[in-house]
Chains A and B, each alone.
Chain A
């Protein structure tokens, strides 16, 4: 797996298709929608933070994220490691009395960080490369058993995975999506 794209980073993929000016205008539009659309309703009750799965372990404070968004401090957040601490458990979105979704704001900020060429943390690059080449985040794994052996998918009587019917076509179409901004 991943023979063809080992050399390619997410930054390459996100900057190869469109001019930087287009990128910037799309980002600005996105931010305006976020600020006007959601953050004005937040009255800082911090119910999101009190239930946040990442709060105790990594000090994520979703209500602060909304407050910073409200004040337009976008670049500060995009440049901060804190946006990458969200566990996407969706408790904040579920429990907000004002229907503000901090988890969705964090997804948008992470997307913006990637679009502006920030370093993507951890194994995300590897997962993206795998999806682009075989359609899954990883290839079929050999797994351990409790009795100390290892087995493969085909040893277990499971049907063969069909996989992608046209991997090259899929790759081209998906690459176009990977550089597009929602």
Chain B
């Protein structure tokens, strides 16, 4: 996410401070390891534990805006808190870097941070601009939905928090049958064509059902639905014209923040069609 999906980071850094959240960057943070889980789960566990232990050292809670990272860190916490033997093994490795996993930190994704901690009343107070009448398809991203046994930030089968946040911004979000479906992103390293076909199928479904666009909160999904939209649609023999943006970008626009500061120019899908820019009323 920090090496490519800059618009997510920009819009997070613009919006959260307005709602009383202080963002602190942790030195030495690295990849969570989840993209390499197919190669070696021990490596994934070590890398996640390493990041958690940096948060332990700083005595700070973690905002993890990427669902895949959020799952990796949740799973590592779960394993280390429940398995003393594994905690010993991992801590022996971490000590070589002067780190130790304690497990005091809490993990948040954007959606639960905004919905559960900041609260919808605060969101409504911050809204400065009436957005156009839009019906946006909510896409959560597999890894904040499932598996529920890891304590996911939203309900696995009937998530409602993103819709509630959107409603407090004045944006409608109707249900659709494909809401819980995968973007196809995890297959990108080794089955790129199939991966794009999966993305294309969901884009097609969203267009067919008359949505004005898609809102999401996952950098991998954004990469698939936004950056690769043209290719994805072609791969299923259709043409897509679906504006796709981050939840935090839409929040920022409703709060009256300049679209350049939210990285809106980095969205490659036709977001101009939504009529979101313009003066604050």
Contact indicator per residue, chain A 1-33, by CB within 8 Å of chain B (1) or not (0): 000000000100010000000000000000000
- Pick the contact of A156 from B29, B148, B263 — CB < 8 Å? B263
Which of chain B's residues have a CB closer than 8 A to the CB of A153?
2-3, 6
B62 within 8 A of A: no
Q: Whole-angstrom distance from the CB of B195 to the nearest CB of chain A?
A: 8
Count A/B pairs, Cβ under 8 Å.
179
Given A111-B41, A136-B30, verify A127-B36 contact (CB < 8 Å).
yes
Pairwise interchain contact A123-B190, C-beta atoms closer than 8 A:
yes
Pairwise interchain contact A146-B41, C-beta atoms closer than 8 A:
no
Separation of A158 and B23 alpha carbons in the complex (Å): 13
Pairwise interchain contact A177-B194, C-beta atoms closer than 8 A:
no
Separation of A173 and B53 alpha carbons in the complex (Å): 15
- Pick the contact of A180 from B31, B42, B180, B266 — CB < 8 Å? B42
Given A94-B148, A146-B266, A169-B96, verify A120-B39 contact (CB < 8 Å).
yes
Separation of A139 and B39 alpha carbons in the complex (Å): 20
B119 within 8 A of A: no
Given A87-B187, A94-B148, A147-B265, verify A10-B46 contact (CB < 8 Å).
no
- Interface size, chain A (Cβ < 8 Å): 63
Pairwise interchain contact A161-B146, C-beta atoms closer than 8 A:
no
Interface of chain B residues 182 through 196 with chain A (CB within 8 A): 182, 184, 186-192, 194
Given contacts A111-B38, A146-B271, 9 further A-B contacts (CB under 8 A): A58-B191, A84-B191, A110-B38, A111-B39, A111-B40, A136-B2, A138-B3, A139-B3, A173-B96
Q: Which residues of A contact B (CB under 8 A)?
A: 10, 14, 53-54, 57-58, 84-85, 87-91, 93-94, 101, 107-108, 110-111, 114, 120-124, 127-128, 131, 135-141, 143-147, 151, 153, 156-159, 161-166, 169-170, 173-174, 176-178, 180-182
